[in-house]
Every structure is written in C-alpha cells, then in structure tokens.
Amino acid sequence: MERNKREKGSRYEEQAAAFLEERGVRILERNFRCRQGEIDLVGNKDDTLIFFEVKYRKNDVYGSPSEAVDIRKQNKICRAADLYCMKNNLCEDKAVRFDVIAVLDREITWYRDAFAYREVR
C-alpha cells in the first residue's frame, strides 16, 4: 500500500510541477529529502525561492488538501528548507516563500504565501 501511496503522490507532484511551469515557475528540485523532512517541489519565480508542499484529496470529506498542511508539517518544511538553503548556498540574499498546491479531485489551487517561515529548533 505504501508503494501505491508514494506513486500516487508522485503523479500529483508531476501535475503540480507542470501547472507551475505553465505559470512561469522554474522547478529547481523535486522531492528534496533530508532527516528534517521533505519538500515536494522547490522553484524560482521573479527572483523568489519558493518551497511547495503538494497535497491531494479525492474529495473534501476529511477537509481540504490545504488544511492538511498543519503546524507540525509547516515546521518540518521550514527545517528542510533551512538545510536545502545551506546545502545550496541560498536564501541569504534571496526572498523565500512557502506555498501550497492543493489538488482536489482534478482541480488545482495555488496558495501563495500559505504560511510564514518558522525558526524551529
């Protein structure tokens, strides 16, 4: 089952990446993983480094996809973003943003500035 879940997640991340590229985002990395967490997509648009969390739901019975990006998940994304920036010598002089791509059935919604950076220790 886990394998199918990962495959399904990858399919929606690919759709999200195509959606973003059509809107002028240059995708820099997909599925950045580290001990601190994971970032689904990293992109650049208008000289802003954007960390994207992609969430899919077949329907909204259990809430919208964006609601699944709770404080705990945001903290993990921020920790992973810190490591990504350190590894790539980025972020010091670059605007950084955290966005959510919500996929509900076949509809994609882009939430810009979905949450603010949190310094997590």
- 58 vs 91: which has the higher pLDDT: 58
Nearest to 94 by CA among 103, 105, 81, 107: 81
**Residue 80, in any domain of the structure:** yes
In a domain, 117, yes or no: no
CATH classification at residue 86:
3.40.1350.10
Domain hosting residue 96, numbered range: 2-111
Task: Give the count of domains, the chain.
Answer: 1
pLDDT band at 1 (very low <50, low <70, confident <90, very high): very low
In a domain? residue 23: yes
Position 90 pLDDT exceeds 90: no
Q: Is residue 88 part of a domain?
A: yes
Residues in CB range of 92: below 8 A, 6 or more apart: 85
C-alpha to C-alpha distances, 96 to 7, 46, 63, nearest whole angstrom: 29, 11, 28
Q: Dump pLDDT digits (tens) for 33-89.
A: 999 899 999 999 999 999 999 998 888 777 778 888 999 999 999 999 999 999 998
Within a domain: 120: no
Q: 37-45 and 48-57: which strand pairing? A: antiparallel
Residue 6 lies in a domain: yes
CA distances from 99 to 34, 43, 48, 67, 96 (A): 19, 10, 12, 13, 10
Q: Is residue 45 part of a domain?
A: yes
